[in-house]
Amino acid sequence: MKKNILISFLSLALLGFGSCESPDEINKIDTNSNSGIMQLTATFMDGTGEFTVDTTVNKYPFSDGEVVKIIVPWFYPLESNNETSIDKMKIKATLPNNVYSSPGFDIIDLTKETPFTITSPSGKKITIKITGERKKSSEAMIKEFQLPAVGLNGFIMEANKFVGLVSGGMDLSSQKPKIKLSFHATIDPDTIVAQNFNNSVIYTVTAHDGTKQVYTVRPFSPKKVAYGIRVSSARQLWFKGLSEMGLPAADHMTTSIAVSGNYLMINTRNQNNVYVDRFSGEPKGNMQLGSIKGSLTNFFATSDEAGNILICNLSPNAGANFVVYKFTGVTDAIPVKLIDWPTGGLAIGRKMSVRGNLNTDALITVTQMNSKIVHIWEIKGGVLQSAAPKSSVTVAFDSNWSNLADAVAESSTYPSKLFVSGYPSSFGAVNPDGSVIGLYNLTGAGYNSNFIAQSLDYASFNGAKYLAQTIVALYGGANNCHLYDVTVPANLASAPKDPKLLVFSSPANVVSNNTNATGDVAIKVSDDGFKMVMYMVITNFGVAAYEFDCIDVDNIFGE
């Protein structure tokens, strides 16, 4: 439906007695041979809309005999499909005092040229003709760009007609984009066609009037913030209940996770482990564990920075030796027995962490139950240095932990500081000899004896060091994960809710039947260094993924 535009021409009041106008201002229309009009606009009959003169054709003030054209958009509102018509218009003008026009208020047809006579204080007359034109939009822009299937937004550099993508390791080979264009513009190829955004993709945007602009969409490396995680960048990538991934919903067996390449492996005792797309949580397959599969033999799992997976047994319940197998990835069906250590009856295997790359240098840390002892194995040049631990460090906590404790090394080489979390003991950083660097005040952070601060993981990201931790509740309480900036390990002794220390806490998940109070956490930094994802599993509940980035969105292209 067309919307009519009513136009009127408003003259200002005549110059009154005692005016401050100078003779030059009063006589300006005479001396310059112009209309004196300083502004001319059109509005709809209902007062909406305000359209102006085509200043590429007309310049203020208008000259005698000039044809003045007002531009009216083809559609109004611009985003609608309501076509305008210009056979009835109402305009308003700004004139100097003591200057008037004839005719005055009027309804005119802007499809024609309508004359208006402007009279100056001295009586000199100048005539202009007012007309109009409906004009199609020439704007051909990509305003927003998204890949909704992977939750990825593009960064648009309009000056270069460029859309940059930061995948963080995601496969973008078959994605259908969601693109917001200028109103009434079209795009080719159509967005219903999937594209391989791992490479450059060219789009042509055509405006309503036929104007064309060509955009390039491709992965790029943006400018980073000066340090660590960009504030407010945290977002939940996905959450999946265990049954959604083909796992038992509540049998107390799903207790650990490992990241390998673009997969997240979920270790469930006594079954071949499920692995999922780590960016979406969609199931992709099952690891073939062979003889390793068992309630006590694939007891716990973790991974190194290169995606190698370690799976250990529970000793001495599964036998006199503590055994660890190394898998190169989720499809490795021929694992290597990495550690086979006769413990002499020591109880270990409920938690295990690795820092570094098992193919080069790494430290494997395993806590001993009902103690304050952390056992450390050293890998140098991809070779395990001894079947027995390199060292067994007694941590200087006030009390022993019980079954559930975890430790992760700060460095991939020996000796290293350690981060240790044990229930019902403490959580903090210690020196290689076990002396305390800084203890975190769990009570001050709001945790009581019903909460178990246990699984840990550690990563370097954009010049900062981060420690992830699960908080698991006994007796059906809330469970969540936290991320700490431990670039300075002693800061763990600072105020527990200091945002410079505690940089993120996930939403709480209430689980009624996790009676063993088990869970795990893992961090993965993307190969391009722009994104970091923290994964959390809560036994008998599900798995969540939280993404962080270091992209300087206020100076994305480093201009």
Q: In which band, very low, low, confident or very high, does the pLDDT at 556 lie, cut at 50, 70 and 90?
A: confident
Of the candidates 92, 84, 86, the residue with the CA atom closest to the CA atom of residue 41? 92
| Per-residue pLDDT tens digits for 57-81 | 999 889 999 999 999 999 999 999 9
Residues pairing with 439 in the sheet: 428
CATH architecture of 142-219: Sandwich (2.60)
Cα 535 to Cα 524: distance, rounded to the nearest angstrom:
8
Question: Which has more confidence, 13 or 524?
Answer: 524
DSSP state of 398: S
Tell me what the mean pLDDT of segment 230-253 comes to.
Answer: 93
Q: How many C-beta atoms lie closer than 10 Å to residue 16's C-beta?
A: 9
Question: Which has more confidence, 7 or 67?
Answer: 67
Examine the pLDDT at 5 and tell me if it is beyond 70. Answer: no
pLDDT of 446: 78
pLDDT of 18: 32
Cα 537 to Cα 241: distance, rounded to the nearest angstrom:
10
Q: Report which residue type is found at 410.
A: E
| Per-residue pLDDT tens digits for 385-432 | 999 999 999 999 999 999 889 999 999 999 999 999 988 878 999 999
Residues pairing with 546 in the sheet: 236, 534
Of 49-63, 175-189, 454-468, the poorest mean pLDDT is in 49-63
Phi-psi region of 210 (alpha: psi -120 to 50; beta: other; left: phi over 0): left
Cα 524 to Cα 259: distance, rounded to the nearest angstrom:
7
Cα 166 to Cα 186: distance, rounded to the nearest angstrom:
25
| Per-residue pLDDT tens digits for 122-179 | 889 999 999 999 999 999 999 999 999 988 999 999 999 999 999 999 999 999 999 9
pLDDT of 15: 29
CATH number of 23-135: 2.60.40.2340
Examine the pLDDT at 510 and tell me if it is beyond 90. Answer: no
Cα 111 to Cα 388: distance, rounded to the nearest angstrom:
94
pLDDT of 37: 86
| Per-residue pLDDT tens digits for 192-202 | 999 999 999 99
Q: Report which residue type is found at 41.
A: T
Examine the pLDDT at 452 and tell me if it is beyond 80. Answer: no
Tell me what the mean pLDDT of segment 186-215 comes to.
Answer: 97
pLDDT of 536: 96
Which of 89-93, 181-185, 511-515: highest mean pLDDT? 181-185
Cα 410 to Cα 355: distance, rounded to the nearest angstrom:
7
Q: Report which residue type is found at 216.
A: T
CATH 2.60.40.2340 domain range(s) in the chain: 23-135, 142-219
| Per-residue pLDDT tens digits for 285-325 | 999 999 999 999 999 999 999 999 999 999 999 999 999 99
Mean pLDDT, the chain, whole residue set: 90
Question: Which has more confidence, 186 or 44?
Answer: 186
Helix (H) or strand (E) holding 32: helix 28-32
Examine the pLDDT at 3 and tell me if it is beyond 60. Answer: no
pLDDT of 21: 42
